[in-house]
């Protein structure tokens, strides 16, 4: 039994040693992978800096353009409101002129019509007599 126990202890020690060697190999590979990842991340950081700076400049340009577009839209809106107001004023002027001239012209027309009818009646009546 003593021999069996010695064999089991020997197998356990060999297994533990193999496991330790395997873990050392895995840790070395993990360290290599992590160092490669670190290098890649550093490269990415270096390359991302100028890109982010360019994005900042582009954002500022877009902001400036949008402000200019807003200003132009405001100017066009003001111009359209001025044109609308001028058209409304013209329509109001037309309505006032029509209101102020229509009645006197109609009266003058009625008077002229009456005068013409009387003159026609006067000359028409003298021929019949």
Whole-Å CA distances, 89 to 5, 52, 86: 116, 55, 5
Give the distance between the most distant pair of CA atoms in the chain: 173
pLDDT band, very low/low/confident/very high, at 126 (cuts 50, 70, 90): low
pLDDT band, very low/low/confident/very high, at 72 (cuts 50, 70, 90): very high
Mean pLDDT, range 96-113, rounded to an integer: 89
Residues 6+ positions from 72 with CB-CB distance below 8 Å = none
Rounded Cα distance between 47 and 39, Å, is 12
- pLDDT more than 90, % of the chain: 63
pLDDT at 68 exceeding the cut of 70: yes
pLDDT band, very low/low/confident/very high, at 69 (cuts 50, 70, 90): very high
> What pLDDT, on a 0 to 100 scale, did the predictor assign at position 19?
96
Mean pLDDT, range 110-117, rounded to an integer: 91
Q: What is the DSSP string of the chain?
A: -HHHHHHHHHHHHHHHHHHHHHHHHHHHHHHHHHHHHHHHHHHHHHHHHHHHHHHHHHHHHHHHHHHHHHHHHHHHHHHHHHHHHHHHHHHHHHHHHHHHHHHHHHHHHHHHHHHHHHHHHHHHHHHH-
Could you read off the pLDDT of 24-55 as tens digits, one per residue?
999 999 999 999 999 999 998 888 888 888 88
Average pLDDT, the chain: 90
Mean pLDDT, range 3-24, rounded to an integer: 94
């Amino acid at each position: 039994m003593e021999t069996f126990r010695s064999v089991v202890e020997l197998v356990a020690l060999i297994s533990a040693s193999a496991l330790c060697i395997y873990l050392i190999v895995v840790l070395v590979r993990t360290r290599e992978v992590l160092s490669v990842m670190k290098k890649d991340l550093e490269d990415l950081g270096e390359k991302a800096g100028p890109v982010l700076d360019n994005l900042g400049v582009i954002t500022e340009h877009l902001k400036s353009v949008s402000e200019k577009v807003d200003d132009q839209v405001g100017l066009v809106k003001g111009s359209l409101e001025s044109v609308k107001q001028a058209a409304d004023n013209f329509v109001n002027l037309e309505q006032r002129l029509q209101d102020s001239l229509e009645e006197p012209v109609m009266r003058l027309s009625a008077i002229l019509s009456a005068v013409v009818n009387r003159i026609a009646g006067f000359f028409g009546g003298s021929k019949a007599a």
